[in-house]
Structure 1
Amino acid sequence: MYKKQLENPVLKASFEKILAGNDVWVQEVKDDTTGKLQQLAQGQNPELLWIGCADSRVPANQITNTQPGEVFVHRNIANMCVHSDMNMLSVLDYAVNVLKVKHIIVAGHYGCGGVAAALSRKQFGIIDNWLCHIKDVYRFHSDEIDAIEDEEQKVSRLVELNVAEQVFNLCTTSIVQNAWKERNDLAIHGMVIDIATGKLIDLDITFTDSVGLGKVFAFK
């Protein structure tokens, strides 16, 4: 009773392209002789949690040249790590406490539409409430951002500062704090993608413990 056919020819063609792409992937799985893809059906053991932007131009596996099963991924608008976001926290908890990932990368990217929107004074709809978190990052660094005259450079710098703040937010979660009490093999990194070159740029923002977070953030 719920089945309904696509009547719009443009929609039908684009949907069929998706299905055709899956057919190619199915054949690749079938032709795989290493047995690795079949092993993935039994479970996963990634060492990396990637928290990135939902932008279609920054897929985690292609950027890191990794295969299925090697990267656990969470993506949202502007790669935010908000303390009240149960979606992100659930992914983080599973990655850290069940999968035991060793690295977490918060990956921003230059030319981020979410960051650019946050710097504007325009209204975009419900997303404005999400962008307020980025506006808070601007508020912390407004003197530096306002001193930059070029608009593209303003956005680029806020992209970098936003990554730094989200790394800090991750480090102050009880999930990460408790993991650091039990193990010494969890690192959190801040990085930015240059879409034009594909380069994943290390911002030299890496934490492996709670040192440097401030005493009110580091749990006893």
Structure 2
Amino acid sequence: MKGREVDFFEKRSQGQRPDYRYIGSDGRVLANEIVGMQPEDVFVHRNIANMVNNTDMNVMSVINYATVHLNVKHIIVCGHYNCSGVKAAMQAKEMGIINLWLRGIRDVYQLHMAELDAIKHEYERYTRLVELNVREQAINVIKTANVQKLYLKQGFPVVHGWVFDLKTGLLKVLEIGFASIL
């Protein structure tokens, strides 16, 4: 690989001990680059609209592996503005099997309907739904048994909610209220 350090693969073959678990959706910017870390410092999971559904064995298994076996200190749920998954969930049209996945985002909309419906401009409403979806997915992580048990025992992992702006490169840190949810 051109432009990489000579021992790039050798270093990565030694195993991983990341402190960060990242749940995101967009692959245009690498998770480790958003936070200025090396690839081995961030254990990454991606899906449409950074969803954390307790019936999704994939995301639940990854959270379990990251917390129990990799002993991560932080779990980040990172969405991004202009998320096509969130935008699709706001539309009342048949999309096939993806409707099952979008149901979780539609539930977030229902939960925050009064706030969202009070926003007159569709783009601003959509932007706010991106933020609320990240917050609710972070809360879903906090509600997992392993995260609660390990946090009460050792003080980590701590769960964070972020929204990345692809246009500006800025990261918005959302208030999740981690300790109060436990």
TM-score tier (shorter): over 0.9
Work out the percentage of aligned pairs sharing the same amino acid: 47
**What does the per-residue CA deviation read over 1:126-149, in whole Å, with 9 as the maximum and x for residues that have no partner?**
101100010000000111111111
1 CA distance for matches of 2:111 and 2:62?
27
Deviations 1:107-158 (A, max 9, x none): 0111111111111111222101100010000000111111111111111000
Partner of 1:80: 51
Partner of 1:212: 180
CA contact (8 A) 2:161 2:173 kept: yes
Which residue of 80, 105, 109 corresponds with 1:109?
Answer: 80
Aligned to 1:145: 116
- Following superposition of structure 1 onto structure 2, how do residues 192-211 of structure 1 map, counting pairs within 5 Å? 192-205=163-176, 207=178, 211=179
| Partner residue in 2 for 1:130 | 101
Length, aligned pairs only:
182
Deviation at 1:40, TM superposition (A): 1.8
Q: Counterpart of 1:49?
A: 21
**Superposition map of 1:22-37 within 5 A:** 25=1, 27-28=2-3, 32=6, 35=7, 37=9
CA distance in structure 2 between the partners assigned to 1:36 and 1:182 by the alignment:
36
Q: Partners of 1:187 and 1:168 in 2: how far apart? A: 11
> 1:61-84 CA distances to partner (integer Å, 9 max, x unpaired)?
222222221110011000011011
Q: Rg larger in 1 or in 2? A: 1
Counterpart for residue 165 of structure 1? 136
Worse overlay, 116-125 or 69-78: 116-125
Aligned to 1:183: 154
Q: 1:28: how far off?
A: 4.6
- Tell me, yes or no, if structure 1 residue 95 matches structure 2 residue 70: no
TM-score by length of 2: 0.93
Kept in 1, the 8 Å contact 2:150–2:156? The answer is: no
Cα RMSD (Å): 1.6
TM-score (norm 1): 0.78
Relative CO higher for 1 or 2, CA cutoff 8 Å, sep ≥ 6? 2
Aligned residue type for 1:200: L
